[in-house]
């Protein structure tokens, strides 16, 4: 049977249901020309159900197949009469596979209608996952790429990369809960077309107003995108997020994310250093050695092969080599460096690629945090100024970084020091570790040695420091394996005696 014959048959079946009722739904004409659009069939069924036209609604729900079951979380009312002859058992197997289905350009069309406020209304659990998009019929599809009913584990679409990092990933999108940002993040992954590599959706818990980086990373789903093909698939790892209430084995993806996370911190540090270098000098750094020089040109505390690869990628993506742009235009190094680091942060993790690293200090809770936008990467305990010698509030920046101030690592200032805006205030170590968490200094910020040395490597010259009352959670956040760089230069300054307000 030709497509035209099949379409005419469906039109006849449609009007046989309730032929005497006039129809004026805006989506019906599109559906009668693109009969495989299961998402649009589902939405049209919701329209008829709202008008009390049960027969027509059930017909549409039957055409919607597993899309109805995914959003309604119950069996299709006519599952046993499915036109494809698979019956309820086939749909159950497809739901267990965790695949989101639609056809033609219908997913984008349906989501666009939902957000645009048209008459196609779905229930709360079927709110749009992505912003409205201008599309043409046949533009994109989500459909399974494995046989229906298969329970085999998902296979990544990306090619394996050198270095043992597993398959490439395009995006790693964070979401804190299934509704709202979960749908938006999943929609972003479904619509991503820059590469054919799969993307990951990961859980990003919140800590007050902050995205909790240290607790983030539990794999929720893998999305194999449409690209130029009219198909995309979602393999779910978390039963609580999957509309089918089952899950694939997420252990391989979890391992991949664990290797991926610390490498993103290196990218963030490097990109921040490049931006601040441009702010200080008016030009882009010509090489990584321009950033990792000897004191006082030690914008970053060391270098390695990964940083070399990422520096080149930042230069290439920002266009800095040929046409300098504003500092915020520095690119994110999607390529270069270890294969494990590939995969651009997205969703709730997108501030990592858009904002520079900053330091926030909360005098009320005695906390110092490393943040990028609203993503909180670290939260350390600190000591601050006493009541009669308070730590000043306001905005500062790191204008000097020195290793072993005054020639020793066990003195009053510890093993590292970072001057704030060329003042006598600094972030440094201490030989009085019991003062951490208290207000006993002459105004400087004291830190434990392991926290300070990690912060020194994370925060490049030019990092913004904001000191205020409140604003940070009390929960401490630091990884078991700290971020460290291998020193590449002499960062000591024996010519100066430091007299910070300890």
B/e letters for 122-159, b = 16+ CB within 10 Å, e = fewer, are beeebebbbeebebeeebbbbbbebeeeeeeebebbbe
Rounded to whole angstroms, the Cα distance separating 324 from 284 reads 7
23 inside domain: yes
- To the query of whether residue 244 is one of the catalytic residues in this protein, the response is no
Domain boundary among 77, 95, 113: 95
Rounded to whole angstroms, the Cα distance separating 472 from 452 reads 18
25 inside domain: yes
CATH number of domain containing 445: 2.40.440.10
In order along its 502 residues, the chain shows pLDDT tens digits of 665 566 556 655 655 554 444 444 545 555 554 556 677 777 778 777 777 777 778 888 887 777 777 666 666 655 544 333 334 434 333 333 333 333 333 333 333 333 333 322 333 223 323 333 333 333 333 333 333 333 333 333 344 443 344 568 999 999 999 988 999 999 899 888 777 789 999 999 999 999 999 999 999 999 987 666 667 788 999 988 887 767 889 999 999 999 999 999 999 999 999 999 999 999 999 999 999 999 999 999 999 889 999 999 888 765 554 444 444 568 899 888 898 899 999 999 999 999 999 999 999 999 999 999 999 999 999 999 999 999 999 999 999 999 999 999 999 999 999 999 999 999 999 999 999 999 999 999 999 999 999 999 999 999 999 999 999 999 999 999 999 999 889 999 999 999 999 9
Contact 214, 477 (CB under 8 A): yes
Encoding tokens for residue 262?
A: 């610390």
- To the query of whether residue 121 is one of the catalytic residues in this protein, the response is no
Q: List the one residue out of 38, 31, 25 whose CA is nearest residue 13.
A: 31
85 inside domain: yes
11 inside domain: yes
Angle of CA points 243, 247, 250, to nearest 5°: 130
Whose tokens are 């912060």? That residue is 455
Please report the pLDDT score of residue 164 as a whole number: 40
Q: How are strands ordered across the β-sheet holding 199-203?
A: 233-236, 218-224, 199-203, 171-175, 344-347
Domain boundary among 26, 60, 95: 95
Please report the pLDDT score of residue 230 as a whole number: 66
283 inside domain: no
When divided into structural domains, the chain yields a total of 2
Beta-strand (E) ranges in 182-258? 199-203, 206-207, 210-212, 218-224, 233-236
Among 34, 192, 276, 428, the active-site one is 428
Angle of CA points 51, 56, 61, to nearest 5°: 105
Please spell the DSSP secondary structure of 279-333, one letter per residue. HHHSS--SSGGGTB-STTSBSSS---HHHHHHHHHHHHHHTTTTS---GGGPPP-
Contact 202, 213 (CB under 8 A): no
Domain boundary among 95, 115, 143: 95
Which 8-state DSSP code applies to residue 169?
-
261 inside domain: no
398 inside domain: yes
Provide the residue range defining the domain that includes 463. Answer: 358-468
221 vs 138, 149, 238, 253, 348, CA distance in Å?
25, 18, 7, 9, 15
This model's pTM is above 0.85: no
Residues near 312 by Cβ (< 8 Å), separated by ≥ 6?
336
434 inside domain: yes
Cis ω before 296 (30° cut-off from 0) = yes
């Amino acid at each position: 049977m030709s497509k035209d014959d099949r379409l005419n048959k469906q039109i006849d079946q449609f009007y046989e249901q309730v032929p005497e009722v006039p129809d004026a739904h805006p989506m019906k004409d599109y559906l009668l020309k693109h009969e495989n659009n299961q998402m649009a069939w589902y939405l049209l069924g919701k329209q008829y159900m709202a008008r009390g036209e049960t027969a027509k609604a059930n017909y549409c729900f039957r055409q919607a197949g597993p899309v109805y079951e995914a959003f309604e979380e119950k069996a299709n009312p006519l599952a046993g009469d499915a036109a494809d002859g698979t019956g309820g058992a086939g749909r159950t197997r497809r739901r267990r596979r965790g695949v989101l289905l639609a056809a033609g350009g219908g997913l984008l069309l349906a989501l666009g209608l939902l957000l645009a406020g048209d008459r196609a209304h779905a229930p709360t659990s079927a709110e749009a996952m992505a912003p409205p998009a201008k599309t043409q019929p046949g533009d994109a599809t989500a459909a399974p790429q494995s046989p229906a009913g298969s329970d085999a584990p998902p296979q990544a679409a990306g090619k394996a990369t050198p270095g043992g990092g597993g398959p490439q990933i395009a995006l790693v999108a964070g979401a804190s809960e299934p509704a709202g940002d979960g749908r938006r993040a999943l929609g972003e992954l479904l619509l991503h077309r820059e590469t054919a590599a799969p993307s990951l959706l990961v859980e990003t818990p919140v800590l007050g107003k902050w995205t909790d980086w240290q607790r983030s990373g539990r794999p929720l789903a893998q999305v194999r995108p449409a690209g130029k093909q009219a198909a995309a698939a979602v393999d779910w790892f978390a039963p609580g997020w999957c509309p089918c209430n089952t899950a694939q084995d997420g252990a391989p993806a979890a391992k991949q994310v664990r290797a991926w996370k610390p490498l993103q911190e290196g990218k963030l540090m490097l990109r921040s250093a490049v931006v601040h270098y441009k702010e200080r000098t008016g030009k882009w750094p010509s090489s990584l050695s321009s950033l990792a020089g000897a004191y006082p040109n030690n914008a970053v505390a060391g270098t390695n092969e990964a940083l070399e690869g990422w520096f080149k990628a930042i230069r290439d993506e920002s266009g800095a080599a040929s046409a300098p742009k504003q500092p915020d235009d520095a690119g994110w190094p999607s390529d270069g460096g270890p294969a494990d680091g590939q995969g651009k942060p997205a969703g709730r993790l997108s501030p990592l690629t858009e904002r520079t690293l900053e330091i926030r200090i909360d005098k009320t809770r005695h906390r110092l945090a490393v943040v990028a936008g609203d993503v909180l990467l670290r939260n350390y305990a600190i000591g601050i100024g006493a009541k009669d010698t308070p730590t000043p509030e306001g905005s500062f920046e790191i204008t000097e970084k020195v290793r072993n101030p005054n020639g020793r690592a066990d003195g009053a200032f510890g093993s590292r020091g970072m001057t704030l805006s060329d003042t006598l205030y600094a972030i440094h170590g201490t030989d009085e570790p019991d003062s951490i968490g208290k207000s006993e200094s002459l105004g400087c910020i004291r830190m434990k040695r392991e926290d300070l040395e990690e912060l020194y490597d994370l925060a490049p010259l030019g990092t913004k420091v904001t000191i205020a009352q409140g604003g940070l959670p009390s929960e401490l956040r630091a990884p078991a394996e700290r971020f460290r760089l291998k020193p590449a230069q002499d960062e000591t300054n024996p010519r100066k005696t430091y007299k910070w307000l300890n």
